[in-house]
Structure 1
Amino acid sequence: MRKQTLLLLGLFLMSYQFMKAQGSPDYTGGLKFKFNEDGSKYLRLISWAQVQANYNTDETFDGNGNENSKLNFNLRRARVLMFAQINKDFLILTHFGLNSLTSTTLSPTGKGDGSQLFFHDVWAQYNLGENHTVGGGLHYFNGISRLNNQSTLNMMTLDNHRQSWATIGLSDQFARHLGVFAKGKFGKLQYRVAINDASASSLDSRTAVAGESAVYNGRSTLGSKDSGKAFAGYFDYHFFDQESNFLPYKVGTYLGEKKVFNVGAGFFLHPKGSVIDTGTALSPNLEGEDVSIFAVDAFYDAPIGDDGAGGAITAYAVFQSNDYGKNYLFSAYGTGSMVYGHVGYAFARDKSKIRYQPYASYGTHSYDAVDDNRNTLGIGLNAYMSGHNSKLTLEYNNQKFGDVDINTISLQAMIYL
C-alpha cells in the first residue's frame, strides 16, 4: 500500500511540473488556419489527451483467479477535432480519437479493436438565417439533459456521470447517432432536436426470454421498419449570460468567467427499441416495447463578488425518468429514475498561479427490476494550471449497488491545445 501511495504522489508531482511548464494564461484555444484576411474562412484544429492513474482499494480477481493489480493506468481519451467554414452559411466538423486504452485493450501491433481510432462525429450543417441551423451526419446534438450533451474538454468532475449518457452503445455509437438535426434559439430559449437511425448493433446482445425482462436490441430483432428510428430533443432557457450553441458540446464549468443560470428539459424516444417475449419457452412471441427517457435539469455557474474576487461556484442538478422496457436492467442502465447533482467552488483566480476547485457529486438510481439503488459519490479537487487547457484532477469515487461496493482513487492529467 505504501509503495502504491508513493507512486501516485510521484505521478502527481511529475504531472504538475510538466503541465505547469505548458501554462498559457492568454491561450484562446485551438490552432486556426485563416483562408482570408478577416478570418471568416478558416480551419480550426483542437487536440486533447486525458491520462489516468486509478487505484482500486478493494481486491479484485481476473478470470483465472489471479488477484488484479490495485494500481492501473488508462489513456482515458485521445482526441482530435477539426471544423472548417469557408462560408458563413455552412460548416463541416470531424472528430476522431480513441477511449479508455488500458493494458487489457492494448494489442501487440496496435491493430486490436481497443486501440483503434474511430470517428466520434462527422457532420455538415447549414445556417437558416442568423439563429437557426440544420445539419446531418454522425452527430452529438442529443436530447435528454445537459450531461447527455457534455463536452469532455471542460468537465468539472473527473468524468461525466455515466448514466447520463443514457443510450451509449445501446442505440448509438459512443453517444452519437446517425441522422439529421436542427438547432437554434428563440431569444433566451435554445433548442436542439434530431431524427436518427438507431444502430443495428447493441451492447445488449441478450435474447429476450419468455416471462422475463426486456432487452434493448429492437432494431436488430424487429428490423428497421418497426424499430429503426429514434427521436431526441433538448430545450434550455438562459436567464443570464447566453451560452454559445455553435457546437453541441455543453460546458461543465466556466470557472466564473460567465454568469449562467439555465433550466432545461429533454427527451429521447425510440419506438419499439426494446424487445420482450410475451410467449412461452416452446412458443416465443417477440414484441417491441418503446424506450422513452425524459429529464429536467438546472445549471448555475457564476463568480462570487466583483470580478470573481470571492471565487466562483458551479452547481448542477438533474432528475431523469428512464423507461427501457419492462424491468430492464443492463450494466448501469435500467427502467426507473435517477437523481444526480454536483457542486464545486473555484478559489479566486490569479492567472499567474494555480487555481484550485474542490467539488462533490452524488447520484442515486432506482430500478424497477430490483429493490437496491445504485448510489455514487465523488469527492475531488481540480488544479488548473491554465484553465481547462492544463489541469490535474484527483478524485475519490464510491459506487454501491447491492453487494457491490467499489472504491477508486483516480488522478488524471489533461492537456488540450
Structure 2
Amino acid sequence: MDRKYFKLGLIILSALGLGSKVEAQKKNDFNNPPLTHYLNDEHTRYLSFSGYAEIWARYTQLNPGSLVNNEAESQMSDLSLRRVRVKMTYKPTEKLMFVLQGGTTNVNLNAKSSNYFDLLDAYAEYSFSDKVALGAGRSTWRGLSRFTTGPLNTLLYDLPAYATSNAGTTDYTVRELSAYIKGQLGKFDYRMVLADPYTMATADPKLNVATFSKSAPRKDFSGYFRYAFLDKENISTPFNSGTYVGKKNVLSLGAGFDYIHDAMWHLDSSKNTVNDDMRSLAVDLFYDAPLNKDKGTSVSAYAMAMHNDYGPNYVRYVGTNNPATGVDATQASLNGAGNAMPVIGTGNTYYMQLGGTLPYFNKDKKDLQLQPAVGVQLSNLEALKDNAVIYDAGISLLMNGMSSRLTFNAQNRPVYTNDAANGAVASDRKWQFVLKYRIDFN
C-alpha cells in the first residue's frame, strides 16, 4: 500500500475517533455518536456528515394507455430508490458555513440510463447574528409554504404533491441558483430568496392554455414568514420538519409567496403571444405536541391554503417516481402515463394532514412505536370541471425514532378525461400502494 494513502487513512481514523470522544455524551436515534468532528473545545466549529436513503416497494394501478417498455400495462409492481442523499456541513468559524450535498432521485426501471449521483447543493452562508444571515449558491432555500423545500421527517410516505409542483420546470430537484436572507426575531422567523430559475420548456404557446415560456427566464422571488406561538423551530437548514414525534411543542402560523415575471405564455383569440406572470400565495398552520411523554404519544396536524395564478387554464400532471415509460396517445387520459395526476394549476389548492405516535411497544426501551396518519388534497383548478381530490392514508413503524422507519401508504387519485362538452371531468380513480423504508445517516 502506498505510504501516502496509509498516512491519510490514519489521519481520517484519528479525526473520527476524536469526534467520538468529544461527542461521548451526545447520541443520535441509534444511540451512537453523531458523525460530527468538532474543531474547537467550544463546539462552535465543526465538520459533520449526514444523509439518508429511501427505498420503495410499490404496486400501482396505471393510468389508461400507459406503456412499460412499449407494452401496454394497466398495473405494475416495482422496486425503486426514491432518494439517496449524502451531505457535508463545514463550519470553519462561528459565522461562516458551507454545505455540500449530492445524491440521486427516482432510480427505477424507467431510469436505467440516468442514475447519476448528482451535485445537488453547494452554498455558503454568513451569519451576522440570529436575526440576519446571508447565503448564496445552489440550494433548496426558497419561500411559499412549509413543505416547498422538500422532505424532512414526513408524516406520510412522502411530501404532498403540490408542495414541489414546479420541480423539473423552474428548478432541478427543487434546487435553484439563488441568494437568500433569513433570520429569527424572537418568535418570528423569515426567509426571502432571489433565484435564477431554469428554463426547460420545449413547447410553443397554445391557444388559451398557459405553458412555461421558452424565453429567457426572469428572476424568481419568493419568501416565507412564520410566527411561533410555542417552541421556536430550527432554521439552520431550508427544510421544515413534518413531525417532531412529540419532542417539541410547536404551533406555528406561516405565509409565503412565489413570483416570476413572464414565466408563462399563451396564444389569445387573435393568435397573438401573451406573456403571463407566475404568482403564488400560501398560508399554513402547523401543530405538533406530546400527549404523554412517558408513553411516547403525540399529535401532529397541518393545514394549508394556496392560490396559484399561472395564466389561463394551466394545469400540471405529475407522476412521482413514475414507473411508466410512455403512453399510447389514442387511449391516454388527460393525466398521461403511469401514476401522473393533477397536482397544481391556476386556481386554489387546500391540504390537510393529521397523525401522531401511539404508545411505545416497550416503554422502558422506547425504541418501537406506530405512527398512523391521513392526508387529503383538494384542488379547485380553472382547467378542470371537477375538483381534484387526492387521498392518502398510512402507518409507520418507528424502529429508531424517525431515523429508521418503515411506512405503508395507500393513495387514491383521480383520472381525468374530456366529456362531450370538452370539459375535464374525473371519470375514474386509481390506487397506489407504497411500502417505504428510510434510514438516516447522522
Normalised by the length of structure 1, the TM-score is: 0.85
Residue of structure 1 equivalent to 2:161: 162
Letter in 2 for 1:38: E
Q: 1:258 aligns with which of 245, 248, 253?
A: 248
Q: 1:249 aligns with which of 218, 234, 239?
A: 239
For 1:318-356, what per-residue CA distance to the aligned partner results, in whole angstroms no more than 9, with x for missing partners? 001011111112213210110101000201343444110
Q: 1:39 aligns with which of 40, 43, 53?
A: 43
The alignment status of 1:315 with 2:314, answered yes or no, reads no
The alignment status of 1:371 with 2:370, answered yes or no, reads no
The alignment status of 1:398 with 2:412, answered yes or no, reads yes
Aligned CA distance change for structure 1 residues 213 and 355 (closer, same or farther; 3 Å): same
Question: Once the 2 structures are TM-superposed, how far is the Cα of residue 130 of structure 1 from its aligned partner?
Answer: 3.2
What does residue range 14-413 of structure 1 map to in structure 2 within 5 Å? 25=29, 27=31, 30-57=34-61, 61-62=66-67, 64-67=70-73, 70-106=76-112, 112-113=113-114, 115-150=115-150, 152-202=151-201, 205-209=202-206, 211-217=207-213, 220-221=214-215, 223=216, 227-278=217-268, 280=270, 284-305=271-292, 307=293, 309=295, 311-331=297-317, 332-349=343-360, 350=363, 351-401=365-415, 402-413=426-437
Tell me, yes or no, if the aligned pair for 1:96 and 1:120 is still in contact at 8 Å: yes
Tell me, yes or no, if the aligned pair for 1:153 and 1:416 is still in contact at 8 Å: no
Aligned CA distance change for structure 1 residues 28 and 216 (closer, same or farther; 3 Å): farther
Question: Once the 2 structures are TM-superposed, how far is the Cα of residue 408 of structure 1 from its aligned partner?
Answer: 1.1
Percent identity over the alignment is: 26
Tell me, yes or no, if the aligned pair for 1:256 and 1:308 is still in contact at 8 Å: no
Aligned CA distance change for structure 1 residues 91 and 353 (closer, same or farther; 3 Å): closer
Question: Once the 2 structures are TM-superposed, how far is the Cα of residue 310 of structure 1 from its aligned partner?
Answer: 6.7
Normalised by the length of structure 2, the TM-score is: 0.80
The alignment status of 1:414 with 2:441, answered yes or no, reads no
Query: Which ranges in structure 1 are unaligned for 5 or more consecutive residues?
Result: 1-22, 107-111
Aligned CA distance change for structure 1 residues 228 and 300 (closer, same or farther; 3 Å): same
Question: Once the 2 structures are TM-superposed, how far is the Cα of residue 58 of structure 1 from its aligned partner?
Answer: 6.0
Residue of structure 1 equivalent to 2:332: none
Tell me, yes or no, if the aligned pair for 1:24 and 1:386 is still in contact at 8 Å: no
Q: Distance in 1 between matches of 2:410 and 2:33?
A: 29
Moved more, 33-42 or 131-140: 33-42
Tell me, yes or no, if the aligned pair for 1:239 and 1:261 is still in contact at 8 Å: yes
Q: Distance in 2 between matches of 1:322 and 1:170?
A: 16
Aligned CA distance change for structure 1 residues 95 and 29 (closer, same or farther; 3 Å): farther
Letter in 1 for 2:205: A
Tell me, yes or no, if the aligned pair for 1:197 and 1:228 is still in contact at 8 Å: yes
Question: Once the 2 structures are TM-superposed, how far is the Cα of residue 412 of structure 1 from its aligned partner?
Answer: 0.4
Q: Distance in 1 between matches of 2:224 and 2:132?
A: 15
SS at match of 1:148: coil
For 1:75-113, what per-residue CA distance to the aligned partner results, in whole angstroms no more than 9, with x for missing partners? 11111111100101110111110111011212xxxxx22
Question: Once the 2 structures are TM-superposed, how far is the Cα of residue 308 of structure 1 from its aligned partner?
Answer: 5.2
Letter in 2 for 1:278: D
Q: Distance in 1 between matches of 2:297 and 2:284?
A: 24
Question: Once the 2 structures are TM-superposed, how far is the Cα of residue 36 of structure 1 from its aligned partner?
Answer: 2.7
For 1:240-291, what per-residue CA distance to the aligned partner results, in whole angstroms no more than 9, with x for missing partners? 01111111110111000000000000000011111122364xxx53232110
Aligned CA distance change for structure 1 residues 254 and 310 (closer, same or farther; 3 Å): closer
Question: Once the 2 structures are TM-superposed, how far is the Cα of residue 29 of structure 1 from its aligned partner?
Answer: 7.6
SS at match of 2:67: coil
Aligned CA distance change for structure 1 residues 398 and 257 (closer, same or farther; 3 Å): same
For 1:200-230, what per-residue CA distance to the aligned partner results, in whole angstroms no more than 9, with x for missing partners? 224xx32112x3211112xx32x2xxx4211
Equivalenced residues, count: 375
Moved more, 28-37 or 159-168: 28-37
SS at match of 2:350: strand
Q: Distance in 1 between matches of 2:204 and 2:265?
A: 9
Letter in 2 for 1:367: L
Letter in 2 for 1:342: Q
Aligned CA distance change for structure 1 residues 318 and 255 (closer, same or farther; 3 Å): same
Q: Distance in 1 between matches of 2:33 and 2:118?
A: 23
Q: Distance in 1 between matches of 2:393 and 2:210?
A: 35
Tell me, yes or no, if the aligned pair for 2:88 and 2:100 is still in contact at 8 Å: yes
Aligned CA distance change for structure 1 residues 29 and 213 (closer, same or farther; 3 Å): farther
SS at match of 1:244: coil
Aligned CA distance change for structure 1 residues 34 and 138 (closer, same or farther; 3 Å): same
Query: Which ranges in structure 2 are unaligned for 5 or more consecutive residues?
Result: 1-26, 318-342, 416-425
Q: Identify the structure with the greater helix proportion.
A: 1
Letter in 2 for 1:62: L
Q: Distance in 2 between matches of 1:369 and 1:299?
A: 30
Q: Distance in 2 between matches of 1:124 and 1:344?
A: 36
SS at match of 1:403: strand
SS at match of 2:306: strand
Q: Distance in 2 between matches of 1:58 and 1:233?
A: 37
Moved more, 92-101 or 164-173: 164-173
Letter in 2 for 1:262: S
Aligned CA distance change for structure 1 residues 27 and 293 (closer, same or farther; 3 Å): farther
